[in-house]
Amino acid sequence: MPQAYWAPLAMVVSAVVIVMVLGLGVSVLVLIARGKIPLDGLISEPGTDKASLSRFQFLLFTFVIGGLYLLLCIENGTFIEIPSTVLGLLGISGGSYIASKGIQTAGVQATANATAKVAQAAADATAAQAVAAVRAPRRPR
Amino acid sequence: MDVGAFSVILQYGLLGWLVALVLIVGWRGRGRWRALIRLFVSEGFGLQLGAADLVRSQLGLALTVTVAVYLAEAVHTLFFMHGARAMPDLPKELLAVFTGSQALYLSGKAGRSRSKEP
């Protein structure tokens, strides 16, 4: 008897969950198609037109492994096991992307620091020249 | 119609969403895929600008081989091993080669980043 009460409720909850999940997915697709979600940093660093290997491989493995996982789950009708080597592959790919970003950020920071030091040294030299010019004894006419 | 039918709708809906996502990302980013052509040339730091970059090329080769081997395993699992309870495994030797390739790439990138500093 209780099952008779719960079955319609389960149907309603399932329908609501499906509408929410697929609605969210469709809205993301529409936003990408309209350009509201920018793809500038998909395979290249923003502001440059050179592709990034670490970004590209991260994208590739995410689609390949994610798609295959979804396909096998549908075929089996349940969640399937993910081998440690596949998890390692995803981890190495993601770790390489993070390390690559770290190296790049450190390089940019070092360049900015060095440029600031050069600018400071130039400003100091100019100031010293100005002080020396003021202090220099004037030649008698 | 029972709850099981809803799960089938959700599963195939998600699969369709993933396919649509790949197609839309490919279409929206069509101008950016050209950047992939210059993926294996140098950035000019310590190497001649535009010359083939060995460090990047070896990672590209390792990446291509790894993806090809895994896709072959995936096709084998999907079409010849019905009811597989686990994702296809990747040979440990290939994972070790891929890891070494990543380490070489990151070392090269770090070295070039240092040589770029004024």
Chain A contact for B101 (CB, 8 A cutoff): no
Query: Could you tell me if B58 and B65 are in contact, meaning their C-beta atoms sit under 8 angstroms apart?
Result: no
Could you read off the pLDDT of A63-115 as tens digits, one per residue? 889 888 888 888 887 889 999 999 999 999 999 989 988 888 887 777 677 77
Residues A98 and A33 in one domain: no
Residues B46/B37, Cβ–Cβ less than 8 Å: no
Claim to verify: residue A6 and residue A60 sit in the same structural domain: no
Structure confidence at residue B72 (pLDDT)? 92
DSSP state of B81: S
- Contact between A51 and B1 using a beta-carbon 8 Å cutoff: no
Between residues 20 and 59 of chain B, which touch chain A (CB distance below 8 Å)?
20-22, 24-25, 27-29, 32-33, 35-36, 38-39, 43, 56, 59
At A108, list the tokens.
């940019």
**Is the pLDDT score of B99 beyond 70?**
yes
A121 to chain B, any CB pair closer than 8 A? The answer is no
Q: Tell me, yes or no, whether A94 and A45 share the same domain.
A: yes
Question: Do residue A77 and residue A31 come from a single domain?
Answer: no
Same-domain status, A79 and A65 = yes
State pTM to two decimals.
0.71
Residue B49 CA to residue B62 CA, distance in Å, equals 23
Query: Is a pLDDT exceeding 70 seen at residue B49?
Result: no
Pairs from B66-71 (Cβ < 8 Å, separation ≥ 24)? B66/A89, B66/B90, B66/B94, B66/B98, B67/A60, B67/A61, B67/A64, B69/B94, B70/A64, B70/A89, B71/A64
Whether A25 and A85 map to the same domain: the answer is no
Co-location of A127 and A94 in the same domain: yes
Interchain CB contacts (distance < 8 Å): A and B: 172
ipTM of predicted complex: 0.75
Clarify whether residues A29 and A48 are in a common domain. Answer: no
Helix (H) or strand (E) holding A79: none
- Side-chain half-sphere CA neighbours of A83 within 13 A: 15
Give the HSE-up count for residue B22: Cα atoms under 13 Å, Cβ half-sphere: 13
CA distance B88 to B73: 6
pLDDT, averaged across chain A: 83
Domain count, chain A: 2
Helix (H), strand (E) at residue B96: helix B92-116
Q: Is there a single domain that holds both residue A45 and residue A110?
A: yes
Q: Which of A28, A36, A57 to probe by mutation at the B interface, max B CB count within 10 Å?
A: A57
Please report residues of A whose CB lies closer than 8 A to that of B67. Answer: 60-61, 64
Q: Are residues A57 and A125 in the same domain?
A: yes
Q: Using the beta-carbon criterion (under 8 Å), do A104 and B118 form an inter-chain contact?
A: no
Q: Provide the chain A residues 99-118 that lie in CB contact (below 8 A) with chain B.
A: 99-100, 103-104, 106-107, 110-111, 114-115, 118
Which residues 6+ apart lie within 8 Å of A79 measured at CB? A73
Confidence (pLDDT) at A35:
86
A97, A55 contact by CB (below 8 A)? yes
Cβ–Cβ below 8 Å for B90 and A82: no
Residues 6+ apart with CB under 8 A from A107: B113, B114, B116, B117
| Domain shared by A26 and A81, yes or no | no
Q: What are the pLDDT digits (tens) for B15-25?
A: 899 899 889 98
Q: Is residue A108 part of a domain?
A: yes
- pLDDT, one tens digit per residue, over A26-71 is 999 999 888 888 887 777 776 776 778 888 888 888 888 988 888 8
Q: In this structure, is residue A140 part of a structural domain?
A: no
* Domain range enclosing A3: 1-37
